[in-house]
Amino acid sequence: MRAQPAPRFTLPSPTPNSQAKTLTTQPFGSVLIALVDDEESVHAAVRKAIGDLDGRWALCCYGRAAAALERIREERPAVVLMDIWMPEMSGIECTWRLKTILPDLPVIMHTGRADASGMLLSFMAGANGYLIKPASPAELKRAVQAALNGETALCPRAQTLLAGHCRNWGVALNQAASLTLREREVLVCLMQYVHDKDIAQHLGIAEGTVHLHVTSILRKLGVHSRGEALKKIFGHT
């Protein structure tokens, strides 16, 4: 009879006052999920939710972002749940650093920050999803499963927040100037593309046409640069 592989155990971590919180035992063959959060109550709630939802999932917890950066490279979890507000290093910065090391590692923001700028900055840092606390066990399970499937995970509150923010951009555009639909498309593309040729390729129009649209946008908005146009409408450069 072939011997069964020995169970894999995660190593104990320091207390939250130093670097990280306790890591749980990971049974052989289970899916490891990492939680980065400085609140012990969150650790307990997520641990219970994961234990109740799926016996195949195991959880390792970190109380500080710096400890998570060091240990996650060794533990290689399948998914990371990341808080935003933490001492010493924010979850957004931690996500950005993790993605430079492990670009394919799914990171879901698990945070009480319910504002559009936090969500957008998180996705710009490479996040794969956004859960606003308190997330129900069902929301947590859906988000983790979506991340495991390579999908973007947004809880209902995050979906509402993102949609509302996009509508606010539309209102800002209406109040600022009467831009045509094509000019709005070009303006949104300015957030993603630096060169006119890339915008032209994306929209399927000529590069010279893009330049004409940009000139019209700047004139209608009363600004002198693309950066000023983005800042006036979207609040950033």
Q: Where is mean pLDDT largest: 17-21, 106-110, 165-169? A: 106-110
pLDDT (mean) for 110-120: 88
What is the end-to-end Cα distance of the chain in Å, rounded?
65
Q: Are strands 129-132 and 107-111 parallel, antiparallel or unpaired?
A: parallel
221-229 mean pLDDT: 90
Q: Taking the complete model, does pTM exceed 0.85, yes or no?
A: no
pLDDT tens sequence across 187-219: 888 888 889 999 999 999 999 999 999 999 999
Domains parsed from the chain with CATH numbers: 31-158 (3.40.50.2300), 174-234 (1.10.10.10)
Beta-bridge partners for 132: 111
Mean pLDDT of 103-110: 96
Write the secondary structure of 45-94 as one string of H (helix), E (strand) and C (coil). Answer: HHHHHHHHHCCCEEEEEECCHHHHHHHHHHHCCCEEEECCCCCCCCHHHH
